[in-house]
Chain A
Amino acid sequence: MTLLFFLAAGWIFLAGVYGMVTSRNIIRTVGCLAVAQSSTYVLLLAVGFRRGGTSPYFTDTSTRTPVVDPVVQALALTDVVVGATVTALLLALALQLRKRHGTVDPDALTGLRG
């Protein structure tokens, strides 16, 4: 069962990578990067999962209630923030490329080679 989660995370990561390798549009490349990143959410949340556990709040429950691991949830949350920043920045760069130079096709960018 746990192995299934690991495999799912690996599958999502590779799906994102496949999209990035074949992409003809930078917006799509950045989208695929976000797909690859979402594999980390799946992995982190799966790692902290406990059968029968509830969310880790103890306001109205006994402290003996089994809960899922709150550390990975904090990690996933930080990960979301990091991912949002990077995606926004890369999309802003792609936007400038489209606005000023009229292309978002990586094949059309030939200024840097050799």
Chain B
Amino acid sequence: MSTADLLPLAIAIPLIGAAFSALVGSRLPRVATDLLVTVWAAAGVADLVVLWLRTGDGRAVSWLGGWRLRHGESVGIVLVNDRIGIGLALLTAVLVLAVIAYSWRYFDEPPAEHAGTFPALILLFDAGMCGFALTGDLFNAFVFFELMGAVAYALTGFRIEDPRPLQGALTFGVINSLAAYGSLLGIGLLYARTGELGFAQISQKLTGHRADALLLTAFVLVLTGPLVKGAVAPFHFWLPDAHAVAPTPVCMLLSGVMVELGVYGAARIYWIVFSGPHGIPQHVFHDTFVAAGVLTALVGAVMCWKQRNLKRMLAFSTVSHVGMFLVGLALLTPEATAGTALYVAGHAGAKAALFGVTGALLDRFGSVDEHSLYGRGRELPVGGVLFVLGGLALAGLPPFGTALGKAVAEHAAQSHSPWLLAVFVLASAATGAAVLRAALRVFAGAGRRPLDRHEVPETTGGGEEPEIRGPSRRVPLPMLAVPALLLAGSLAVGLLPAVSTQLAQAARLFTDRVGYVAAVYGHSHAAGMPPAADWTAEGIALGLTSVALAVAFACAALWAAPRGGGAHRVVAPLRRLHSGHMGDYVGWLIVGVAVLLVAVRAQL
């Protein structure tokens, strides 16, 4: 089998698995369905591993159905990618495998007539995300975007016994689909201008036109979808609402990789489609999206710190980290891109592990509320250790992958705007501190017993339906083994030099528009030197600084005397903005698009 065939196979394997699981799931015993689905997911991982190895330091190109370019024009769909996109697809497949193993004992009583639906939806989600990561065609990307979206809405609202999942799923669906239709309007405008839909083909045709109002509108509209999926402020409001209520295994996928795919999509589309001559100049993208990323990182960090619902806290920490990823990609250098890729891989392991342990708490105690769980986690010492390690990984403790990625991105940011270092250190310290504070309260009963105050509206996280009900109240083995393996994965990203060198090579391909276009058009093109992406003394020092800050914040929250005052007056209005009302969130979406249009226009 040729390398090109492996690309469509990465999408086809989970698709077929999903159909199969939905068909036979109700006829087979639970164990057989679980085994079958695990085999499908493992096959998807195997396909992508071979693809990763065979692609090497280059790009894999596959024209679907053999509809190739003729005289520089095309009507076919092309899948094309380097190791950044393939790596994201691989990360998706690995997380899906982990989630399927995690949920072996999940939903012990599935609806009798719909057994097999949950794994089928997970595999369908896998197919959508892999497709989005691998495609080189704008309309195809829209279809995969909507596929992963629709499946994610269904998975979020899976537990219909509680109104909150339904509300979260509806908000998620309405906001994301509206943004996707905005993207489609942009795609229509680009097609009107160029008559092409492939990233590379549009890019080639655009070089013959000047940047005008149509290109500007198309740029902002096309990026709206990925930015909403990537939860970039002010498009992030749907994310905490969806993540706080989705079943835990789904949260692992949403936070671990789906949101990151949004930021990836935005950067990929900018690099290939718009960064050419007569496109949107690099300084415009850089300034606009570094600003957006910093705003996202800070809003996420502050909101994360203020949460008591553990899932919502982790969701806001994802918002904060996505902000840092956006800053990394918007720096538009191969080094920063390599750092971000490492950061995403390390973060996925840590965040999925944290959600996994939270799921074990939910199973055991029927609550994800930091206050009412105070001290009760002492029965789960293993869970406590994993939760603390996850928090330290989020804060950037070397040698976790998060620390390496952050250090490389920080090094790249330093030469350009040194103040970005402070943002990186503070945001990662605050999100890590929130997790550590919760871990110490829940698993060790540290500090004073928290008091309930109701000055601001908040989501508590008490009174949740346990997602598993069984007479034996022991936590199933996979629910702690899978988080441990995921943390080990995050550690491996930081420790294996092969991962960082290969991602550094891929990052220089990711930032090479000419090379991408040449690969699609079948020309050869020599790439430059890969950037360095390795541990430095300075990076380790910065990582340790943010960990020390995180520990200090957490201890201060637990033991220092409570102070009212200025901070509260700033934070309370910000919390009130997160109203849970979908009409408000649609309003914010439009405000965000308008601000982007004005900001980009002003810089042209």
Cβ contacts under 8 Å, A52 to chain B = none
Once the chains bind, are B150 and A86 in contact (CB under 8 Å)?
A: yes
Nearest-CB distance from A107 to chain B (Å)? Answer: 7
Cβ contacts under 8 Å, B578 to chain A = 113-114
Cβ contacts under 8 Å, B84 to chain A = none
Measured between alpha carbons, how far is A79 from B184 in the docked complex, in Å? Answer: 9
Cβ contacts under 8 Å, B188 to chain A = 9, 40, 43-44, 47, 72, 75
Query: Is A1 positioned at the interface, with any CB of B under 8 Å from its CB?
Result: no
Once the chains bind, are A40 and B170 in contact (CB under 8 Å)?
A: no
- Which residue of chain B lies nearest to A45 when distances are taken between CB atoms in the complex? B188
Cβ contacts under 8 Å, B189 to chain A = 6, 43, 47
Query: Is B332 positioned at the interface, with any CB of A under 8 Å from its CB?
Result: no
- Which residue of chain A lies nearest to B190 when distances are taken between CB atoms in the complex? A47
Measured between alpha carbons, how far is A89 from B157 in the docked complex, in Å? Answer: 10
Q: Which residue of A43, A79, A90, A97 is within 8 Å of B174 (Cβ)?
A: A90
Query: Is B587 positioned at the interface, with any CB of A under 8 Å from its CB?
Result: yes
Nearest-CB distance from B576 to chain A (Å)? Answer: 8
Cβ contacts under 8 Å, B153 to chain A = 86, 89-90, 93
Given known pairs A100-B160, A101-B163, A106-B581, the reply for A39 and B185 (CB within 8 Å) is: yes
Chain A binding surface, main DSSP class: helix
Once the chains bind, are B177 and A33 in contact (CB under 8 Å)?
A: yes
Measured between alpha carbons, how far is A10 from B581 in the docked complex, in Å? Answer: 25
Measured between alpha carbons, how far is A29 from B241 in the docked complex, in Å? Answer: 18
Query: Is A54 positioned at the interface, with any CB of B under 8 Å from its CB?
Result: no
Contact count band on A: 35 or more
Cβ contacts under 8 Å, B584 to chain A = 21
Cβ contacts under 8 Å, B244 to chain A = 112
Query: Is A55 positioned at the interface, with any CB of B under 8 Å from its CB?
Result: no
Within 8 A of A (CB), among B446-499: 456-459
Query: Is B579 positioned at the interface, with any CB of A under 8 Å from its CB?
Result: yes
- Which residue of chain A lies nearest to B191 when distances are taken between CB atoms in the complex? A47
- Residues of B in contact (CB 8 Å), total 53
Query: Is B366 positioned at the interface, with any CB of A under 8 Å from its CB?
Result: no
Query: Is B82 positioned at the interface, with any CB of A under 8 Å from its CB?
Result: no
Point out which of B146, B167, B584, B587 has the most chain A C-beta atoms below 10 A from its C-beta. Answer: B167
Within 8 A of B (CB), among A87-114: 89-90, 93-94, 96-97, 100-101, 103, 106-107, 109-114
Nearest-CB distance from B540 to chain A (Å)? Answer: 37
Interface 1/0 per residue, A66-97 and B, CB below 8 Å: 00000110010011001001100110011011
Given known pairs A97-B166, A97-B167, the reply for A113 and B459 (CB within 8 Å) is: yes
- Which residue of chain A lies nearest to B163 when distances are taken between CB atoms in the complex? A101
Once the chains bind, are A33 and B178 in contact (CB under 8 Å)?
A: yes
Given known pairs A13-B185, A43-B188, A109-B163, the reply for A36 and B178 (CB within 8 Å) is: yes
Measured between alpha carbons, how far is A96 from B177 in the docked complex, in Å? Answer: 20
Q: Which residue of A22, A90, A101, A110 is within 8 Å of B170 (Cβ)?
A: A90
- Which residue of chain B lies nearest to A110 when distances are taken between CB atoms in the complex? B580
Once the chains bind, are B157 and A93 in contact (CB under 8 Å)?
A: yes
Once the chains bind, are A100 and B161 in contact (CB under 8 Å)?
A: yes
Measured between alpha carbons, how far is A83 from B183 in the docked complex, in Å? Answer: 14
Nearest-CB distance from A18 to chain B (Å)? Answer: 9
Once the chains bind, are A86 and B173 in contact (CB under 8 Å)?
A: yes
Cβ contacts under 8 Å, B307 to chain A = 114
Within 8 A of A (CB), among B559-583: 575-576, 578-583
Interface 1/0 per residue, A26-66 and B, CB below 8 Å: 10011001001101100110010000000000000000000
Query: Is B143 positioned at the interface, with any CB of A under 8 Å from its CB?
Result: yes
Q: Which residue of A39, A89, A114 is within 8 Å of B458 (Cβ)?
A: A114
Measured between alpha carbons, how far is A6 from B166 in the docked complex, in Å? Answer: 35
Given known pairs A86-B149, A112-B167, A113-B458, the reply for A39 and B181 (CB within 8 Å) is: yes
Once the chains bind, are A112 and B192 in contact (CB under 8 Å)?
A: no
Pairs A–B under 8 Å by Cβ, sample size 19: A13-B181, A17-B178, A20-B174, A20-B583, A26-B582, A29-B582, A37-B177, A43-B189, A44-B184, A71-B75, A71-B197, A82-B143, A85-B146, A93-B169, A96-B157, A110-B580, A111-B167, A112-B244, A113-B457
8 additional A-B residue pairs with CB within 8 Å, beyond A10-B185, A93-B166, A97-B166:
A36-B178, A78-B143, A86-B146, A93-B170, A101-B166, A112-B168, A113-B579, A114-B307
